[in-house]
Homo-oligomer: A and B are copies of this chain.
Amino acid sequence: MEATLEQAVSILRRNQLKITKQRHALLDYLVTYQDHYVAISAVDEHMRTLFAGMSHNTIYRNIKEFETLGLLEVKSADNQTLVKYQCDFEHQHHHHFVCSNCGRVIELQACPLDAYEAQLPGCTITGHRMEIYGLCDQCTAKGVQAN
């Protein structure tokens, strides 16, 4: 199921957040990256050309807000924060393969967590993260070299 911009807007409404043109433009941009992670700083740069005079603060604050609402997935890499428009607002749990050449994200089914619980007696598990890296089928077919 693809998450749409309209869904996101209605989630803002449901949480009594104002639908500003800045927020709309930001979501509009993020929705084009449904299947890629983008650096917030790149989003920032883009928005500020597209939307003259938009404040850093506005972009960063809203992205944080969107994360809280579950509209975005966030991760940290290489001293940057990367975001990706959430695949599915119903929070269906899954993992990702990320192409290190084109950045494409492929969703993976199943979760390895169960297999590890027995190794952590007495511990409280609150979360986990698993990601696989490599070259997607298209990039592999093109003969791109893995770094």
Binding site for B on A (CB under 8 A): 76-81, 95, 97, 99-100, 106, 108-110, 112-113, 115-116, 119-137, 139-141, 146-147
Contact = CB atoms under 8 A, between A and B. Distances in A.
A59 to B, nearest CB: 16
20 contacts: A76-B79, A97-B120, A109-B119, A112-B112, A116-B132, A122-B136, A122-B137, A122-B140, A123-B135, A124-B134, A125-B133, A126-B133, A126-B146, A126-B147, A127-B132, A127-B134, A128-B130, A128-B131, A129-B133, A130-B130
Given A76-B78, A81-B79, A127 B123 contact: no
A132 to B, nearest CB: 4
Given A97-B120, A123-B136, A126-B146, 20 more contacts: A76-B76, A76-B77, A76-B79, A79-B79, A79-B81, A97-B116, A99-B123, A106-B119, A108-B119, A112-B115, A120-B134, A122-B136, A123-B134, A124-B135, A124-B146, A127-B132, A127-B133, A127-B134, A128-B131, A130-B131
A124 B142 CA distance: 12
Contacts of A131: 128-130
